[in-house]
Structure 1
Amino acid sequence: MDGERTALIAPLGSAGRADEIAIRITEAIQLGLLRDGERLPPESEFAAQFGVSPVTLREAIAELRDRGLVETRRGRWGGTFVKRSLEPDEGPDMARLAALTSAELRDIADEQTAIAGLAARLAAERSSPSNVERILSLADQLAAAETRGARIKADSRFHIEIAIATRSERLTRREVALQAETVGMLWGSHLPGSELKKIAIEHRDIAAAISAEDGVQAGSLAEQHVRNNLRRLTSGHFALVDATGSPQ
C-alpha cells in the first residue's frame, strides 16, 4: 500500500486546510485504501506527512469523527481508527447521480478520459512486474466480486493501481479523487447484470495491454472504458430521474 499511502499523505499546497485533509482521508476510506479498524498514524507524524500543523490535522479528524468515519479510543492501545462500512449505503450516491446533469457527467468523464488514458499508457511503459501482477489480480477480483462494496473496492483499486504504476504522484492523486467522485454512482442497483460482466471484461483487456507493454492499446482501451462508463452513468441518471419525476 506504499504507493497509495504516498498519494494520500503527500503534502498539501500552501493552503493546507482541515477540510482538504478531511476530503483526502474520506476518499481513502470510501475506496478501501484505509481498511475498517485500521489505526491512523500518530497525530504529529500524520500532520508532518500532510505538511500541516497538528492543530489543523486535529480539526480534520474531528470532522471525520462527527461524520462517523473514524473513532478515537483512549488508553494504552488507543488512537484514531477507521470505521468503514463493508456495504456502503447506495442512497447518497444515487441522490448525487440524480442531481447531476448529463452535461456535468460528461464534464467529469472528459477529465477522467484524460487521466485514465495517460495513466494506462504510462503504466504500460513503467510498470514493474509486481505492478502488473497486482493490476491483473485486481481485474480478476472485480470479475469475482459479488457485492456492491466488493465491486466498488475492486473497481477503484484497479484504476488507482494503474495510476500508481505510472510513478506519478500527481496522476495518482487525481485518479483517487475521480474514483471517489464516480465509483459509488456507477455501482448502483440501476446497473444491469449484463453491464457488470462487460466492465470486468474491459478491465481484463486493459490489464492485458499493460502486461503486454502496449501503451497505445492500453490508453485506447482505458479511454473507451471511460466513455462506456459515461453511458452507464447517464443511463442510470435518467432512470433515477424518471423514477422520481425530478427535473432533468
Structure 2
Amino acid sequence: MDGIGNGNGGGAGSERASGAGSGGRSGGGDRLAPVLRPVRAGNGFEEALEQILQVLRLGLVPDGGRLPAERELADRLRISRVTLREVLKVLQDQGLVESRRGRYGGTFVRARPEPNRGDGDELRRRVAAVDVEDTLRFREVLEVGAAGLCAAHGLDAGQARRLQAALDATRDAPLTDYRRLDTMLHLTLAELAGSPSLAAQYAAVRATVNDLLDCIPLLVKNLEHSQAQHSALVEAVLDRDADGAREVMREHCEGTAALLRGFLV
C-alpha cells in the first residue's frame, strides 16, 4: 500500500479548510485541475457527476471541507447551475455531501464510513469490478513517466516548494488522514510533470487504486518503507536525477502492486 505516514482514509485532517471557498487551490496549485474540466454537451449531467465523485474518491476536498461554490463549479464544468444542482442532489441523497445555509454555508463533504474489510462478499464485488492488473500497470507507466519528466525538466523554486510541502504533510499524518495526503503527494508530482492529460489520467487511475487499497489492511512496516521511498523520490526529482527518480518510483509502484495482488488476486 502507498504510504510514508501511517493512515488510510479521508479524515478531517490538517487541510480541512484548504478547499473551502478556494476551488481547491493551495500552495500555488489547483488540486482540482486534473479532475474538473469542461464536460461534453451530450452527457453533461453524467460526466459532471463522474468528475465530482472522483474529487470525493481522491480526497481532494477532505471530509468536512467545502466544495467550490456553485458558480465556480458550474463555470469549470461548463454546465448550467440547474444541472449542477441536480448533480449535487444525487450526491446528497447518497450521503456523500451535505448542504448548509447561511453566511458560512455551501456544499460540504461528509465523512465516508470505514470500509468493512471483514465483509468478504463486498470485497469480492469491488475487486471483480476492476481489472487489477491493467490498473496497476497503467498506474506504474504514468507514475514512472511523471517522475522522470519532473526530474529531467527540473522544477522551479515554487514547484519545488509545492512538492516538498506535499511530502512534509504526509510525515505527521494521522491514520485517518494518511491516504488523502499520500494521494496529494502523488497527484502533485503528476501535475508538475507539465502534461494536463497525464495528470487527468493519473487522477482517474489513482481513484481506482484507492478503492482497492481500502480493501486491504494497513501494514505499518509497509508504511515505513514507503516513507523512505517517497523521501528518496523527492530527493531524486529535486536533484534532477531522472534515472534515479524513475527507478525509485518503479520500485514504489511494484511494492504497492505486490500487496494488492497478494491480498486481492
Aligned residue in 1 for 2:6: none
Q: What per-residue deviation string (whole Å, max 9, x for no partner) do you get for residues 49-75 of structure 1?
A: 101222321221111111212112234
Q: Which residue of 2 aligns with 1:173?
A: 200
Which moves more between the two structures, 199-208 or 73-82? 73-82
Residue 14 of structure 1: how far off its partner (Å): 4.6
Aligned residues: 234
In terms of mean alpha carbon deviation, does 186-195 or 155-164 score higher? 186-195
Greater CA drift, 176-185 or 75-84: 75-84
Deviation at 1:205, TM superposition (A): 1.5
Where does residue 199 of structure 1 map in the other structure?
226
**Cα separation, partners in 2 of 1:13 and 1:126, compared to 1, 3 Å:** farther
Q: Cα deviation per residue 1:175-213 (whole Å; 9 max; x = unaligned)?
A: 222222112432666243211111111111111111111
Q: What is the aligned-residue identity percentage?
A: 26
On the 8 A contact 1:21/1:57 being kept in 2, the answer is yes
Compute the RMSD of aligned alpha carbons: 2.7
TM-score (norm 1): 0.81
> Are residue 137 (structure 1) and residue 165 (structure 2) matched?
yes
What SS does structure 2 have at the residue aligned with 1:89? coil
Tell me the TM-score normalised to structure 2 length. Answer: 0.76
Q: CA–CA distance in 2 between the matches of 1:197 and 1:64?
A: 36
What residue is the counterpart of 2:7 in the other structure?
Answer: none
Q: Structure 1 stretches of 5 or more lacking a match?
A: 239-248
Deviation at 1:169, TM superposition (A): 1.8
Q: Distance in 1 between matches of 2:211 and 2:155?
A: 27
SS in structure 2 opposite 1:72? strand
Q: Is the 8 A contact 1:42 1:79 kept in 2?
A: yes
Following the alignment from structure 1 to structure 2, what is the Cα–Cα distance between the partners of residues 204 and 76? 42
Q: Which deviations, in whole Å up to 9, do the C-alpha atoms of 1:122-143 show, x marking residues without a partner?
A: 2222423232233233334434
Cα distance per residue 1:93-118 (max 9 Å; x no partner): 986654426x9221101110111111
Q: Which has the higher contact order (CA 8 A, sep 6+)?
A: 2
Q: 1:41 to 1:145 in 2, by over 3 A?
A: closer
Q: CA deviation at 1:89?
A: 0.7
Contact 1:97 1:185 (8 Å CA) reproduced:
no
Q: Which of 20, 33, 36 is the equivalent residue of 2:47?
A: 20
Q: What pairs up with 1:165-244 in 2 under 5 angstroms?
A: 165-186=192-213, 190-237=217-264
* C-alpha contact (below 8 Å) 2:148/2:246 kept by paired residues: yes
Partner of 1:89: 114
Tell me the distance in 1 between the aligned counterparts of 2:131 and 2:213: 15
Give the structure with the larger helix fraction.
1
- 2:246 aligned partner, one-letter code: G
Greater CA deviation, 106-115 or 12-21?
A: 12-21
Unaligned 5+ runs, structure 2: 1-24
- Give the ranges of 4+ consecutive aligned residues of structure 1 lying more than 6 Å apart after TM superposition: 92-96
Paired with 2:218 and 2:46, the residues of 1 have a C-alpha distance of 32
Q: Distance in 1 between matches of 2:194 and 2:78?
A: 21
Deviates more, 1:217-226 or 1:130-139: 130-139
CA distance in 1: counterparts of 2:105 and 2:172, whole angstroms: 36
Query: 1:191 touches 1:236 (CA, 8 Å); kept in 2?
Result: no
* Cα deviations by residue, 1:139-169 (Å, 9 ceiling, x for unpaired): 344343341x322012101100101112322
Amino acid at match of 1:139: L
Q: SS where residue 98 of structure 2 aligns? A: strand
In structure 1, what is the Cα distance between the partners aligned to 2:41 and 2:117? 31
Q: CA deviation at 1:226?
A: 1.4
1:242 — aligned with what? none
Whole-angstrom distance in 2 between the partners of 1:237 and 1:94? 13
